Amino acid sequence: MKTSEVDILIVPGWQGSGPDHWQSRWERNLKTARRVIQHDWENPEVEAWGDRIAKFAGGATQPVVVVAHSLGVAATVLAAGKLKRNGVIGAFLVAPADLDYAKFWPDNGSQRWPPEKGNGGFETLPQQRLPFRSHVVVANNDLYCSYARAEHLAAKWGATLSDAGESGHISTASGHGPWPEGLLEFGKFLRTLG
């Protein structure tokens, strides 16, 4: 499939993705891409985030492919059943935030996980096969999810996996504004969908 043949849902993680983040750039440059806007980026709630992604997917006019980053990956896999019912045929999962090891996540400067109001139900990642095709991209030095853990999760989810090298959390902070390698990887993933 080509980007013009799917509706692309951009699903940012905790605190959203700023204007220079690769997700924001993809949203601006891919004609069928649109961002899922959460009601509260600072205090995520797993049910509310999953419902919001499903609502956006349900409003699509073509098959839906989710492009999730960090906590957006967790929200996507935790809501997989309702997303499948709302037309999602694939998920491109970048730099998953490993909820099971959240106590080891680094301080991001202004806030630490969990937020003041708690983890909002973001407690553990499911370990069953996802109901749609998926691909996980992770760096071998990501402080939010080790490569070995991502490899384990991808196998459980039935996802393919690619190593992004020493790319950190694949975000603006790690120097990934444009991220052309990611766009090439996404194109390869789309071709597996049909």
The residue ranges of every structural domain in the chain are: 3-191
Q: How many CA atoms within 13 Å lie on the side-chain side of 82?
A: 17
Are residues 35 and 23 in contact, defined by beta-carbon separation less than 8 angstroms? yes
Residue 108 has a pLDDT of: 63
Residue 110 has a pLDDT of: 63
Above pLDDT 70, what percent of the chain?
A: 96
- pTM, rounded to two decimals: 0.95
Relative to beta strand 133-138, strand 160-163 is: parallel
Residue 109 has a pLDDT of: 62
Average pLDDT value for residue range 152-167? 97
Q: Which residues of 37-62 are buried (b: 16+ CB within 10 A; e: fewer)?
A: ebeeeebbbbebbbebbbebbeebee
Average pLDDT value for residue range 36-41? 95
Query: Residue 50: which pLDDT band, with cuts at 50, 70 and 90?
Result: very high
Query: Residue 45: which pLDDT band, with cuts at 50, 70 and 90?
Result: very high
Residue 132 has a pLDDT of: 98
Question: Is the domain covering 3-191 a CATH 3.40.50.1820 domain?
Answer: yes
Q: What are phi and psi of 66, to 5 degrees?
A: -90, 135
d(CA 181, CA 144): 21
Residue 89, SS3 per DSSP: strand
Question: What's the mean pLDDT when you consider all of the chain?
Answer: 93
Q: Could you tell me the maximum CA-CA distance found in the chain, to the nearest angstrom?
A: 44
pLDDT (tens digit per residue) in 85-144: 999 999 999 999 999 988 888 876 666 667 777 788 999 999 999 999 999 999 999 999
Are residues 149 and 98 in contact, defined by beta-carbon separation less than 8 angstroms? yes
d(CA 8, CA 89): 11
Rounded to 10°, the helix 46-58/71-78 angle is: 70
